[in-house]
Amino acid sequence: MVWLVEHRAVIVEEFIKNGRSPVATQLAFRIRFALGRREAVPDKKKIYLWVSNFRQTGHTLEALREAIRQDVAAITPEMVLKVMDNYREATPVHQYSRPPLE
């Protein structure tokens, strides 16, 4: 399963709330995302890794969202047009045309 940033943030929050218990964290994760008993949840190693990474970097979900918003806001229409023009110049014309019918 691909774990999203939201999943990681919930794991870190629940791990801290649940007295550093990976089992209680997994249960809270199942409840939060309405997962069945046999559906995948992050394992103990992932939980410890994500908590460790959070402690080292200090990133929270909101901080990441804000950073993404700022990055996206910095992209101007002129920048997009320039990239499109550069792509068109670098791509041979025959890639845009249909292959000949035989």
Q: Give the model confidence (pLDDT) of 22-32 as tens digits.
A: 999 999 999 99
What is the residue extent of each domain of the chain? 5-60
What pTM was computed for the model? 0.57
Burial state string for 20-45 with b = 16 or more CB within 10 A and e = fewer than 16? eebeebbebbeeeeeeeeeeebbeee
Q: Give the model confidence (pLDDT) of 68-100 as tens digits.
A: 787 888 888 898 889 888 888 877 665 556 666
Helix axis angle for 5-17 and 44-57, nearest 10°, is 90
